Amino acid sequence: MSQTRCDAFLGGRLRIEQPARGYRSGMDAVLLAAAVPARPGQSVLELGCGAGVASLCLGARVAGLVQTGVELQDSYAALARRNAAANGIALEVLTADLSAPPPALRARIYDHVCANPPYFQRDRGSAAPDPVREAAQGEATPLAAWIDAAARRLTPGGWLTLIQRAERLPDLLTALDRRLGSAEILPLSPRAGRTAKLVLLRARKGGRGAFRLHAPLVLHAGERHERDGDSYTPALTAVLRQGAALPWPA
């Protein structure tokens, strides 16, 4: 990764270095961070942390977290370490395969695990020409392996939070096993009346609550895009610009 650029997040509160070409985290990572129900003093593991955007957004919102990121690609892991230091947020980054974690990680458990797994199944689409981008977006490790890795690292009662494309919801629900219950799905709809493009999943280790499918959270105000600039709802503006928690349904 030879060239990078600095991107602003949370209204400029965070300045995060990302590849100038190839995969860069954006709104999805901010939404993931905003959905994690972490409290000060708790521990959080992000699987596939990339350049650290989600973990750093979470650390900016909730003080006093003990955060760890796992990233397979050396170049992204190095960026995540630099970004954490530059923004003054404590984040330990391990370069490792989540499906074969090092002994130091296998010995730990966390209050929360979050992830933004690659969206695209390569048996249903074409690979990206850039190998770094392809590794970030193309699914090499099945969703079931991501969820298994999360369940192994969670303390009893701990929460998994995950964002994924809506079309992968059947795969997500199939991958959940008896270790993770009280599952909730929050669809994310671009506008009122539009089909959800993304979903957020929450599930609790050892949870016994019934499955819940919430009404969609609408991201943009109005029926269509009518002017330059963003058109986010007030709740989404607070998440994206001020680093507020996502308004998860009660």
Distance CA 238, CA 36 (A): 16
Position 125 pLDDT exceeds 50: no
Local confidence band at 87 (pLDDT 50, 70, 90 cut-offs): very high
Local confidence band at 116 (pLDDT 50, 70, 90 cut-offs): very high
What is the pLDDT averaged over residues 16-25?
91
Beta-strand runs (E) in the chain: 4-9, 14-19, 43-47, 66-71, 92-95, 110-115, 120-121, 138-139, 154-165, 180-189, 198-205, 212-213, 217-218
To the nearest whole number, what is the mean pLDDT of the chain? Answer: 91
Structure tokens at 209: 């609550």
pLDDT at 133: 43
Distance CA 6, CA 14 (A): 10
pLDDT at 80: 97
Which of 64, 68, 65, 10 minimizes the C-alpha distance to 34? Answer: 10
Local confidence band at 228 (pLDDT 50, 70, 90 cut-offs): low
What's the Cα-to-Cα distance from 150 to each of 22, 31, 92, 201, rounded to whole Å?
A: 27, 19, 17, 13
pLDDT at 230: 77
Query: Which tens digits make up the pLDDT trace of 148-181?
Result: 999 999 999 999 999 999 999 999 999 999 999 9
Position 131 pLDDT exceeds 70: no
Domain annotation for the chain: domains and CATH numbers = 26-242 (3.40.50.150)
Position 95 pLDDT exceeds 90: yes
Q: What proportion of the chain, given as a percentage, has pLDDT over 90?
A: 82
Distance CA 164, CA 159 (A): 16
What is the pLDDT averaged over residues 216-224?
86
Structure tokens at 230: 């963003």
User: Scanning the structure block, which residue is given the tokens 């890795």?
Assistant: 149
Sign, Cα dihedral of 129, 83, 233, 118? positive
Query: Which tens digits make up the pLDDT trace of 29-45?
Result: 999 999 999 999 999 99
Position 199 pLDDT exceeds 80: yes
Position 121 pLDDT exceeds 80: no
Position 200 pLDDT exceeds 60: yes
Residues 68 and 115: beta-carbon distance below 8 Å: no
Lowest mean pLDDT, pick from 84-98, 165-179, 214-228: 214-228
Q: What are phi and psi of 21, to 5 degrees?
A: -130, 145
Distance CA 31, CA 147 (A): 19
Distance CA 68, CA 49 (A): 9
pLDDT at 4: 93
Distance CA 68, CA 89 (A): 11
Q: What proportion of the chain, given as a percentage, has pLDDT over 70?
A: 88
Q: What is the pTM of this model?
A: 0.89
Position 63 pLDDT exceeds 90: yes
Distance CA 247, CA 250 (A): 9
More confident call, 158 vs 141: 158
β-pairing, 66-71 with 138-139? unpaired
Distance CA 20, CA 137 (A): 16
Distance CA 60, CA 62 (A): 6
